[in-house]
Amino acid sequence: MTTLVYAVANHKGGVGKTTLSMNLAAGLARRGTCAVIDADPQGSATLWARIARAPQAFPAPVHAVTDHLASWLSAARPPLDYAVIDCPPAVDSPSTALALQSADVLLIPVLPSPMDLWASTRIEEMFQTVRQRNPSIRAYLVVNQADPRNAMARGMEAALQELAVPALHNKMARRASYRSAALEGVSVYDLGTRGRLAACEIEAIIEELSRL
Ligand SMILES: Nc1ncnc2c1ncn2[C@@H]1O[C@H](COP(=O)(O)OP(=O)(O)OP(=O)(O)O)[C@@H](O)[C@H]1O
Ligand SMILES: [Mg+2]
């Protein structure tokens, strides 16, 4: 059995890498065994899971692994169905390079702002470099903090479509529940009605990824 490995990376800080990693892992943990690999020396994913209060442990264990990632994944017992690697905001760091070598799918959260999309040539460069070492990796942009009330500006949709990396149709909206989940050390699935819309977004992302 092989583990389906998702790496969540972007050279930009604060775009939602850890938010997507933790909620995606919680959604995947409802489907099989899943662990989060915290490849970021800032340790945000580790801290997030540590806030969780017993008996409600975070549904996917978080492991800080920055070295020997591939052997760590193959040695995991029982074998994992899924792993989600939360990368630091530096695509040229050794831990990001290792993560991207081990990943089947690279997810790149992006904010729907002109400034972020102008910086996206860096994303295209990152993807080209990754592909040289890991030719079978697939990559998708995931729009985060979309305005829940307004459709995305048409210019933004057009700018996204011009990038060499395709964007998922499903997005994460800007919602207080994503912040609350982090503050409470849980995922949006565990917030009851407060987290319902966000959990639906994560489910839609997982379903879309499973069809691609
Ligand atoms: N969809 C969202 N709605 C509301 N707040 C969000 C959303 N996504 C992320 N945030 C908030 O934005 C901030 C940055 O998110 P996060 O820590 O996930 O980004 P990051 O890319 O992992 O940052 P870093 O580069 O520092 O690792 C956090 O306070 C988080 O709670
Ligand atoms: Mg982070």
Q: For ligand 1, atom 23, which residue shows the shortest CA distance?
A: 14
Are 161 and 183 within 8 A, CB to CB?
no
pLDDT score of 78 = 85
Mutating to test ligand 1, I would choose from 8, 11, 12, 18 the residue with most ligand atoms within 8 A of its C-beta, which is 18
What's the gap in Å between 176 CA and the centre of ligand 2?
Answer: 17
- Cα separation, 173 vs 51, whole angstroms: 24
How far, in Å, is the centroid of ligand 1 from the Cα of 75? 31
The tokens of 145 are what? Answer: 């903090």
Ligand nearest, relative to CA of residue 183:
1
Q: State which ligand 1 atom lies nearest to the alpha carbon of 182.
A: 31
Q: Are 95 and 39 in contact (CB under 8 A)?
A: yes
Report the SS3 class of residue 175: coil
Per-residue pLDDT of the chain (212 residues), as tens digits, is: 699 999 999 989 999 999 999 999 999 999 999 999 999 999 999 999 999 876 678 999 999 987 888 889 999 988 999 999 999 998 888 888 889 999 999 999 999 887 777 777 778 888 888 899 899 999 999 999 998 777 777 778 888 888 889 999 999 999 999 999 999 999 999 999 999 999 999 999 999 999 99
Q: How many CA atoms lie within 13 A of 132 on its CB side?
A: 6
Query: In the prediction, which pLDDT does 196 show?
Result: 98
User: Would you state the pLDDT for residue 55?
Assistant: 63
Cα–Cα distance between 161 and 137 in angstroms, integer? Answer: 20
pTM of the predicted structure, to 2 decimals: 0.95
The full set of domains in the chain, from first to last, is 4-211 (3.40.50.300)
pLDDT at 125: 84
